[in-house]
Amino acid sequence: MKIKALIAVRSGSIRVKNKNIRPFADTNLLELKINQLKRLTNLDGIVVNSNDNEMLEIAANLKCETIKRDDIYATNTVSMSEVYKNMAENFPGEVIAYINVTNPLITDKTLFETIETYKKLMDEFDSINTAHQIKEFLFKDNKPINYDLKNQPRSQDLPNILALNFACNLISKKKMIMCKNVVGENPFIYEINSIEATDIDNEIDFEFAEFVYQKNIKRI
Q: What does the pLDDT look like over 145-195, one tens digit per residue?
A: 999 999 999 999 999 999 999 999 999 999 999 999 999 999 999 999 999
pTM assigned to the model: 0.94
Domains assigned to the chain: 3-219 (3.90.550.10)
Beta strands 65-68 and 46-50, pairing class: parallel
Q: What does the pLDDT look like over 91-110, one tens digit per residue?
A: 999 999 999 999 999 999 99
**In the predicted model, is pLDDT for residue 38 greater than 90?**
yes
Core vs surface per residue 62-80: b (16+ CB within 10 A) or e: eebbbbebeeebbeeeeee
Q: For residue 128, list its beta bridge partners.
A: 170, 188
Going by the DSSP 8-state scheme, the letter that residue 41 receives in this structure is: T
Average pLDDT over all residues of the chain? 95
